[in-house]
């Protein structure tokens, strides 16, 4: 099946994606990045993928405490959930890179659309294997199923991320990728709320093995992936890109790409380490003493911070007019703040058989009761807004400032206990938000026909999500102190700050940030 030929989508009116995607110019031969052509319809379609893999990826944070209890695991073995899932990213991306270097870029041959369909089918297969794994009560089978899901996601990441960056001018690539990642973060925000409720309560049958509670949710994922695969098979997506298939490892000739691979490794490892540890961290009596169900709602707040920061980043790094930027930078975090507040207050426990009136009353009461929590979170949103202004609409400068802020928050969490440590860890989500998008787009800059190959290297670096969480878990086991184990993501974010300050410029002729 061949990819569809290029078509030229007329610019959308208004502010929704027009300013964020960059200016639209008459299309000529070449890439969208070189011509200024913006494909906003295809971009909107691609955001559904970002939402879906965000929704599912964050389920791992629910699986870790679920499997830890069900299979009586220590922290190290429980964190193998992340090792299996993100290790598959490395394996899949490595296979892709080897094929690309020996026979030519596969995406250039089959097209981005077909790459997406293949990734969805692989992910559907892995999700479906959760059912026999639960029936066999086998932790290794669960890890194998997660590995297959991760292989599918690797293909999706390799196809979708560079596709989004070339659906418009290169100078606004960070803006588009932040916007797409914002939809990813909507998934990661909703995921813990729904996942925590379904796995810890709705499907947690009394007397049944704890692993049984994951069967139905992952069967639903399998069906959703199959539906998405069919939808993407039949929809029209333009084939944009250099259109050249050349063997060789040209991506390795760019020093800033290699340093970017390390930065993605550190970023993903740090982000996943923090998210993976939150439920157990907030459950400690010296921190907050929360139950797994209540702590899972703070996981949602952590990932919700990424949603807020990424949508703000999409605006700040765009080319829209300054006055419009200022309005949206104020409105977006407030609307997202209300969304998080409302989502965290949702009376999921009462939704079985309750009347609409009673559910509304419960939701209203919970909304009011949660005000002290969200009042504490509000100053961090204000700090995020302020730091975006210091970033001066530069992807590298913003990456540096936000990564250093994460380092400061984690250092505080290590040195101080109680609610201060709790909120510093939860607030990391706000400031790690733009890390993936800005690092990815900075590493892709100036790589021309090797964009998909560079993407495979960057996706390979998602291995950080497989390596750093178990390392953090091992430190927690050895020291019997989960709090001090946050030194692992702290070091990781310090390197990401270096990439924003200097690493992205090494070997390239670009102006200083």
pLDDT in tens, 436-452: 888 988 887 776 666 76
CA 448 to chain centre: 25
Whether 79 contacts 143, CB under 8 Å: no
Distances, alpha carbon 369 to alpha carbons 303, 313, 346, 348, 365, in Å: 21, 31, 12, 16, 6
d(CA 141, CA 71): 13
pLDDT computed for residue 178 by the predictor: 75
Which pLDDT band holds residue 193 (cuts at 50, 70, 90)? low
Three-class DSSP category at 504: helix
Angle at 331 between CA 412 and CA 297, to 5 degrees: 50
52 has a pLDDT exceeding 70: yes
d(CA 111, CA 485): 43
Give me the mean pLDDT over the 2-18 stretch.
Answer: 33
pLDDT computed for residue 56 by the predictor: 78
User: What CA dihedral angle connects 331, 51, 439 and 165, to 10 degrees?
Assistant: -90
Three-class DSSP category at 318: coil
pLDDT computed for residue 475 by the predictor: 92
Whether 152 contacts 121, CB under 8 Å: yes
Identify the residue with better confidence: 384 or 372: 384
Nearest to 444 by CA among 177, 151, 98, 103: 177
pTM above 0.85, yes or no: no
Which pLDDT band holds residue 32 (cuts at 50, 70, 90)? very low
Sorted by where each begins, the domain ranges of the chain are 37-505
Identify the residue with better confidence: 415 or 357: 415
pLDDT computed for residue 346 by the predictor: 67
98 has a pLDDT exceeding 60: yes
Which pLDDT band holds residue 315 (cuts at 50, 70, 90)? confident
Distances, alpha carbon 140 to alpha carbons 72, 78, 149, in Å: 14, 11, 14
Long-range contact pairs involving 338-342 (C-beta distance under 8 Å, separation at least 24):
339/189, 339/304, 340/189, 340/300, 340/301, 340/304, 340/307, 340/308, 340/374, 341/367, 341/370, 341/374, 342/367
316 has a pLDDT exceeding 90: no
Indicate the CATH number of 37-505 among 1.20.1250.20, 3.40.50.2300, 3.30.70.20, 1.10.580.10: 1.20.1250.20
pLDDT computed for residue 313 by the predictor: 84
pLDDT computed for residue 398 by the predictor: 92
410 has a pLDDT exceeding 90: yes
pLDDT computed for residue 8 by the predictor: 34
Q: Dihedrals φ, ψ of 238, to 5°?
A: -70, 150
Lowest mean pLDDT among 6-20, 57-71, 174-188, 446-460: 6-20
CA 120 to chain centre: 17
pLDDT computed for residue 35 by the predictor: 43
Give me the mean pLDDT over the 3-13 stretch.
Answer: 33
Q: Dihedrals φ, ψ of 4, to 5°?
A: -70, 150
d(CA 441, CA 396): 10
pLDDT computed for residue 290 by the predictor: 82
464 has a pLDDT exceeding 70: yes
1 has a pLDDT exceeding 50: no
Q: Dihedrals φ, ψ of 342, to 5°?
A: -65, -40
pLDDT computed for residue 201 by the predictor: 60
Contacts of 147 (CB under 8 A, 6+ apart): 84, 85, 87, 88, 91, 126
13 has a pLDDT exceeding 50: no
Distances, alpha carbon 1 to alpha carbons 49, 318, 348, 384, in Å: 21, 35, 44, 45
> pLDDT tens digits for 73-97?
887 888 788 888 888 888 888 888 8
d(CA 62, CA 250): 40
> pLDDT tens digits for 120-178?
999 999 999 989 998 888 889 999 999 999 999 888 888 887 777 777 666 666 677 77
244 has a pLDDT exceeding 60: no
Residue indicated by tokens 């993903």: 268
> pLDDT tens digits for 211-221?
777 788 888 88
d(CA 423, CA 409): 9
Supply 200's token pair.
């810890």
How many other β-carbons are positioned within 10 Å of the β-carbon of residue 511? 7
pLDDT computed for residue 72 by the predictor: 83
Identify the residue with better confidence: 204 or 149: 149
Q: What rounded mean pLDDT belongs to the chain?
A: 78
Residue indicated by tokens 């008459």: 26
Distances, alpha carbon 87 to alpha carbons 439, 460, 466, in Å: 20, 9, 5
3-state secondary structure 84-117: HHHHHHHHHHHHHHHHHHHHCCHHHHHCHHHHHH
pLDDT computed for residue 151 by the predictor: 92
Give me the mean pLDDT over the 348-376 stretch.
Answer: 68
β partners of residue 121 = none
């Amino acid at each position: 099946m061949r990819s569809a030929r290029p078509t030229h989508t007329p610019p959308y009116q208004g502010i929704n994606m027009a300013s964020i995607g960059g200016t639209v110019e008459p299309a000529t031969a070449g890439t969208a990045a070189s011509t200024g052509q913006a494909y906003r319809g295809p971009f909107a379609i691609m955001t559904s993928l970002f939402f879906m893999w965000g929704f599912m990826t964050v389920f791992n944070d629910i699986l870790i405490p679920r499997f830890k209890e069900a299979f009586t695991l220590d922290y190290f073995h429980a964190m193998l959930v992340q090792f299996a899932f993100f290790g598959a990213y490395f394996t899949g991306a490595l296979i892709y890179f080897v094929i690309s270097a020996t026979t030519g870029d596969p995406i250039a041959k089959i097209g981005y659309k077909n790459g997406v369909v293949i990734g969805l089918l692989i992910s559907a297969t892995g999700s479906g294997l959760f059912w026999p794994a639960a029936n066999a009560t086998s932790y290794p089978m669960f890890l194998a199923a997660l590995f297959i899901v991760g292989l599918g996601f690797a293909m999706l990441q390799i196809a979708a991320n560079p596709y989004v960056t070339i659906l418009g001018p290169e100078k606004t690539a960070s803006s588009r990728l932040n916007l797409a990642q914002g939809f990813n973060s909507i998934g990661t925000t909703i995921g813990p709320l729904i996942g925590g409720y379904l796995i810890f309560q709705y499907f947690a049958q009394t007397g049944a093995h704890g692993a049984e509670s994951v069967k139905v949710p992952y069967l639903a994922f399998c069906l959703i992936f199959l539906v998405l695969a069919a939808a993407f098979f039949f929809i029209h997506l333009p084939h944009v890109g250099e259109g050249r298939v050349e063997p060789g490892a040209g991506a390795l000739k760019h020093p800033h790409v290699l340093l970017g691979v390390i930065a993605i490794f550190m970023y993903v490892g740090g982000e996943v380490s923090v998210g993976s540890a939150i439920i157990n961290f907030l459950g400690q009596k010296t921190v907050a003493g929360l139950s797994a169900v209540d702590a899972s709602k703070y996981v949602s707040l952590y990932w919700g911070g990424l949603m807020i920061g990424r949508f703000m980043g999409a605006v700040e790094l765009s080319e829209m007019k300054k006055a419009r930027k200022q309005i949206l930078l104020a409105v977006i975090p407030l609307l997202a703040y209300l969304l998080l507040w409302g989502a965290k207050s949702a009376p999921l426990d009462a939704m079985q058989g309750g009347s609409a009136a009673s559910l509304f009353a419960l939701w209203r009461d919970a909304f009011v009761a949660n005000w002290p929590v969200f009042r504490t979170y509000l100053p961090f949103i204000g700090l995020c807004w302020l730091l975006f202004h210091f970033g001066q609409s530069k992807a590298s400068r913003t990456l540096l400032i936000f990564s250093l802020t994460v380092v400061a928050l984690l250092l505080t969490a290590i040195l101080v206990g109680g609610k201060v440590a709790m909120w510093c860890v939860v607030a990391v989500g706000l400031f790690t938000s733009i890390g993936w998008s800005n690092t990815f787009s900075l590493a892709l800059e100036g790589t021309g026909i090797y964009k998909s190959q560079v993407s495979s290297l960057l996706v390979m670096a998602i291995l950080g999500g497989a390596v750093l969480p178990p390392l953090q878990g091992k430190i927690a086991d050895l020291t019997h102190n989960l709090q001090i184990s946050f030194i692992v993501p702290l070091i990781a974010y310090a390197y990401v700050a270096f990439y924003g300050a200097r690493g992205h410029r090494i070997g390239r002729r670009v102006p200083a940030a």
